Structure 1
Amino acid sequence: MDYTGRELFFDKNDLIVSKTDTQGKLTYTNDIFLEIAGYTEAEVMGKPHNVIRNPNMPRAIFDLLWKTISAGEEIFAYVVNSAKNGDHYWVIAHVTPSRENGEIIGYHSTRRVPNHQVIRDVIEPLYDQLRALEQSATNRKAGLEKSMGALRDMLSNKGQSYNEFISDLMRG
């Protein structure tokens, strides 16, 4: 896919919704997901959710996301996604485990319009730093470790968990 550098926007009243199985394969998408991402339902059902992954998204954030939801906890995160045509769009995602008889059977994600000033002032500089650390390492594993270390240090310095950090940003 060629990335265009063009940003897409969606209405502040819209919710992008998707569900996956425990392996991250899409089992449900709402019409708004399909509209903004530019896919048909047939193109995405059963495919990995990362079909919309943007290369500017640090691996450390997704690593934290997957560890959190796999442990049965919810997470909020600013995420930049890619549409099928290479455009991108930002969301604030709320991802929760879906359970049946107490067992995690998949994940549910609801995304809303994010605060673009927070993205410019906080998220993009942080993500640029994390990606630079990931790319500076001699291999992917070492890059992820460096990036996760920087994220943990930043949160430790703030005395916050990741969700507390994001929650503060969402409040403005």
Structure 2
Amino acid sequence: MTTNSEKKWDTLKRNPKLPTPTPVDREIILDENAILLSITDTRGVIEYCNEDFVESSGYEEYELVGSGHNVVRHPDMPRVIFKLMWERIQKKQNIIAFVKNMAKTGRYYWVMTDFVVKENEKGEVTNYKALRKPAPKEAIQEITPLYKRLREIEDLNGIEASEKFLKGFLDAKNTDYDTYVERLITDNLGNISLSSASKEVSKTTEKKKGSFFKRFFGIE
């Protein structure tokens, strides 16, 4: 049974003026120093996006602002990952995820996404700020088969079955979602530079709350 929360994240409409592109199996190579930033309202509608976000998407800024964030959603992405992301940020909790996005041309690019939840003086959520950096190639190679299996399960048996499989996959590795994703990033950082203040933090395996990017890259 689909809950109201699931309907909210899963049925957000694209801007009807922006046609859905046909996927093209050709990757866009992002600048390793790029930081793709977007700010959305609580419904996931884009209110602001920076130059790196605009350039990677292939859309014009005026096309993106006012559109649902799923304007860049790639059909290869499992719906369960977006469900986890939405549920977490609605609880004012952080989550890091690998996301395959689709540009206006139909080409794709991989990013690792982190969130900062914005609140007003009353503690009410006003906006979601998402920061993205290019994902390490080795991490993409590991996550791609998992995402493919999750998509296949969803197509045949729905998102509930996909979510159960993901939990079983993590349990078999004796880990949880956050630890698994953080390890994929920190074990495969390669040429991605860490801020000097964060290098010591990256050597630990202790789980901490708050922005992953702030801890490991010194940005928020």
Provide the residue aligned with 1:117 in structure 2. Answer: 138
Provide the residue aligned with 2:166 in structure 1. Answer: 151
Matched, 1:48 2:63: no
Specify the code of the residue in structure 2 equivalent to 1:93: T
Provide the residue aligned with 1:140 in structure 2. Answer: none
Once the two structures are TM-superposed, the CA of residue 127 in structure 1 deviates from its matched residue by 0.2
* 2-structure distance, mates of 1:44, 1:171: 31
Which of the pair is proportionally richer in helix? 1
Structure ranking higher on relative contact order (CA contacts 8 Å, 6+ apart): 1
Specify the code of the residue in structure 2 equivalent to 1:13: N
* Structure 1 ranges of 4+ moved more than 6 A: none
Matched, 1:77 2:97: yes
* Local SS of the residue matching 1:75: coil
Give the aligned length: 166
Query: Mind listing any 5+ residue stretches in structure 1 that lack a counterpart?
Result: 138-142
Specify the code of the residue in structure 1 equivalent to 2:170: L
49-58 or 157-166: which moved more? 157-166
Specify whether residues 161 and 96 from structure 1 end up closer, same or farther in structure 2 by C-alpha distance, changes over 3 A only.
Answer: farther
* 2-structure distance, mates of 1:34, 1:74: 24
Matched, 1:9 2:29: yes
Q: TM-score w.r.t. structure 2 length?
A: 0.73
CA contact (8 A) 1:74 1:96 kept: yes
Once the two structures are TM-superposed, the CA of residue 20 in structure 1 deviates from its matched residue by 0.3
Specify the code of the residue in structure 2 equivalent to 1:119: I
Provide the residue aligned with 1:131 in structure 2. Answer: 151
Provide the residue aligned with 1:91 in structure 2. Answer: 111
CA contact (8 A) 1:75 1:96 kept: no
Once the two structures are TM-superposed, the CA of residue 131 in structure 1 deviates from its matched residue by 0.4
Computing the radius of gyration from Cα coordinates, the structure with the larger value is 2
Specify the code of the residue in structure 1 equivalent to 2:131: T
Deviation string for 1:78-114 (max 9, x for gaps)?
A: 0000000101000011123111121111211100011
Which of the pair is proportionally richer in strand? 1
* 2-structure distance, mates of 1:72, 1:28: 20
Specify the code of the residue in structure 2 equivalent to 1:79: V
* 2-structure distance, mates of 1:64, 1:96: 15
Deviation string for 1:2-61 (max 9, x for gaps)?
A: 111110011111100001000000011001111110111110111100000000000010
* 2-structure distance, mates of 1:133, 1:42: 36
* 2-structure distance, mates of 1:55, 1:9: 19
Q: TM-score w.r.t. structure 1 length?
A: 0.93
Specify the code of the residue in structure 2 equivalent to 1:171: T
Q: CA RMSD in A?
A: 1.0
